[in-house]
A and B are shown apart, each in its own frame.
Chain A
Amino acid sequence: MKVSLFITCLTDLFAPSVGMAVVKTLEHFGCEVEFPADQTCCGQPAFNNGYPQQARTLAQRMIRVFRGADYIVTPSGSCCAMIRDHYPHLFADDATSQPEALEFVARTYEYIEFLTKILKVDLTSYRLPEPVDFTYHYTCHMRGLGLTGDPCIDLLRQIGNCRFVPLEKAEQCCGFGGTFATKYPDISGAIVRDKVQCGNRTGAQVMIVNDGGCSMNIGGAGHRYGCKFAVRHAAELIAAALEGGQGNAGH
């Protein structure tokens, strides 16, 4: 199965190791991973700030760059939601581009969604070398993707030595919101402090956050105010379990 990776600009620059964990896990599960080097940005910042024309320009570029890929997989929920929720509208009045846009949308998946819906992976035979308690921040854009259950938690719980601890107000936004975080720092700061406090109360060593922006926000507030957990992408935990090896499963 050929998978084209849409790394997203934030992960490219700030969290390349998350990208590599995504690559390694997808390859482990038998995918042939490609990385179209012409990719840039999905246009979400422009769209969310009221510049749909600019977003459309970048959307056209995305569709061109990923032409021919079987699946497009991205480790960022919000970028995937941008594509799925808004690309169809961006091309709604353009009968020539719309079919290809819709087809592109249909081939695009968020990483966890791809693992659970397409690859249908089973992690029960893997285990972490050391026991890890993890908690899970429910990133907001998963709502738009219809991932309102807890497929990520269910998946990670299959891993041996990996224990889930619920997070208070898990569904409350972390306060990132793109330019919102910088434009309204007081409000954004109050919200993310709340998130860090809830995280600290879990006693978990790891908080799983599957979105580049949210990770920077929660991690940055955690570093400023004191944080008892590490912010990690699910791919990193899965990669660690794959390295931990197969065959000695058991909870």
Chain B
Amino acid sequence: MPVTDLPKKTAPSRLALPVFVPNFMARASLESANQSLHDALDNSVTKKDYSRRTMLAELPDAEALRTLAGNIKRHTLDHLDYYLELLEKNVLAHGGQVHFAADSQQANDLVIAIARRTNSRLIVKSKSMVSEEMELNNALQAAALEVIETDLGEFILQVDHGHPSHLVMPVIHMRARQIGEVFAAYFKVPFTDDPPTLAEMARVYLRNRFNDADMGISGVNFAIAETGSVCICTNEGNGRMCTSRPRVHVAIMGMEKVIPAMDDLPVFLKLLARSASGQTLTQYTNIITGPKRPGEHDGPEEFHLIVMDNGRSRILAGEYRDTLRCIRCGACLNACPIYRKVGGHAYGSIYPGPIGALITPLFNGLAEHKHLPHASSLCGACYEACPVKINIPEMLILMRRDQVRAGIATRTERWIFGLWTWGLRHRWSYRLGQVAQRLFMRRLPAKDDWISKLPGPAEGWTRVRDFPRPPKHDFRYLWKEHQAKKDAMRNGQGVLGERPRHE
């Protein structure tokens, strides 16, 4: 069947979606053995990380730009109430409407109310992380509204009842073959895994839906307070269709997405596309200010901006304020050695990777996601990649401290660290500990000075690699020998004493 005659199907339901269950350990263990996932991620995210580096290196001073972007965000967050009021005033001045939502429930209700009032039945949607956070599609479908994801990746996921596994590349965990199977089943067409053919199928299908849609929903990359504009960056043009073709445009943003002025926007545009996808600029950069004005032919009749809190003001008030700088570029995911091995789904949240490991517990609870702050080697690749300089490793350590304070860390762990610290406060106890470790480990079976099985809590180490057997003499012993030799030489006795016995 030629792709132009695809059946006009109703929107795929996403109601059957299983909710995320925080089961990091099980999921991470499973995925860390999944070589095909590692290969897929290496081919995509690792490569994206390299193109980010290349693109940033082409800027005259990327480091200064990142600092500037971070400072603009810091300033805005420090005066967030002021800039949100300014944004509201200027959106209203251009004929738009602004709604503040305390949580995702309120935000969903607002969208549904707008849909009902404007008699909208079919809704097209461009990619938006905040809408995923709200589980907007489920809410809309529960209200008997038809909603279609129009970003290719999100569309595939909607058809497949799946969750995105990356902030900007939602289907990075799927191979072309899997997508082909999903489309063959959904469109009732012969199987193909040719990417252009698959993309064409989605394009033809979506084109019709754009024409029929009553309402378009988009996210917001940046909201400019000074002008009351929203900026939306996409690569497929679906964002432009969603925001211009239907009668009603609803843009949804987390309250941290505001920036002060139009002059600030280029700073972020320069960094966003480079950091996210190694592009100089996304294919489509829309700056939208209000609905269609009198005399204009195109554009929606109504423009609504929903500004959602959903825990953000609580984060703003605490030590993790910097996490609200995030522009959701995904660079930290691409750079992260953990993400490269476990993929996005293991994080049990719509926000995966290093930034997700921070904001998921902040949004949903430290105890529920107790593994996330610990499942990091603190290598700092995320901090180095972040275009707005969020010091993720430092905040992961803060969060570990908060877990200890909140009693989430086990009693045993607290006891071990207490004892360990005490032991290291004295030379004799340090020495006793070192000697005991050496004597104990030297009695364990070893091959070529490598131990293949450690007991107790250290078993985790030898499950996946060997452990070095401590040599017979530690550094202190060799140092003393070295000093004795030097003293002997100084006293004119030559170097004929006993040679040091290394292993």
Interface residues of A (CB under 8 A from B): 7, 9, 11-17, 19-20, 23, 35, 37-38, 40-41, 43, 45-52, 54, 57-58, 61, 85, 140-141, 143-144, 148, 169, 171-173, 175-194, 216-217, 219-221, 223-225
Contacts and interface: CB of A to CB of B under 8 A. Distances in A.
B1 interface: no
A19 B479 contact: yes
Contact of B470 (A14, A41, A224): A14
B337 A173 contact: yes
Contact of B478 (A9, A19, A171, A189): A19
A234 B492 CA distance: 33
A50 B403 contact: yes
B377 A189 contact: no
B482 interface: yes
B336 to A, nearest CB: 9
Given A48-B400, A185-B460, A187-B342, A177 B466 contact: no
A16 B477 contact: yes
B482 to A, nearest CB: 6
> What 8 A-B pairs have minimum CB-CB distances, sorted nearest first?
A177-B377, A189-B464, A50-B400, A173-B379, A140-B379, A16-B475, A220-B465, A50-B401
Given A13-B434, A48-B397, A176-B377, A185 B461 contact: yes
A179 B437 CA distance: 17
B425 A61 contact: yes
A221 B379 contact: no
B411 interface: no
Contact of B502 (A17, A148, A190, A225): A17
Contacts of A85: 394
A61 B423 CA distance: 12
A180 B430 contact: no
A2 B377 CA distance: 35
A9 B338 contact: no
Contact of B378 (A16, A48, A184): A48
A82 to B, nearest CB: 11
Nearest to A181: B461
B285 interface: no
Contacts of A20: 475, 478-479, 482
B476 interface: yes
A180 B378 CA distance: 9
A131 B413 CA distance: 48
B437 A190 contact: no
Given A19-B479, A38-B427, A225-B465, 19 more contacts: A13-B475, A16-B471, A17-B502, A48-B400, A51-B421, A61-B425, A143-B381, A175-B337, A181-B377, A183-B460, A184-B28, A185-B461, A189-B463, A219-B468, A220-B468, A221-B464, A221-B465, A224-B450, A224-B465
Contacts of B479: 19-20, 23, 35
Contacts of B394: 85
B116 interface: no
B424 interface: yes
A45 B417 CA distance: 9
B438 interface: yes
A184 B427 contact: no
Given A37-B427, A51-B404, A190-B33, A173 B381 contact: yes
B427 A40 contact: yes
Contacts of A185: 460-461, 463-464
B370 to A, nearest CB: 11
A46 B421 contact: yes
B341 A191 contact: yes
B338 A187 contact: yes
A189 B470 contact: no
B434 A169 contact: no
Contacts of A175: 337, 377
Contacts of B434: 9, 12-13
A41 B438 contact: no
A37 B474 CA distance: 13
A125 to B, nearest CB: 25
Nearest to B371: A184
Contact of A172 (B381, B461, B466, B468): B381
Contact of A46 (B379, B402, B417, B468): B417
Given A173-B381, A180-B375, A16 B461 contact: no
Given A51-B401, A144-B380, A186-B28, A194 B38 contact: yes
Contact of B402 (A13, A50, A172, A216): A50
A197 B150 CA distance: 40
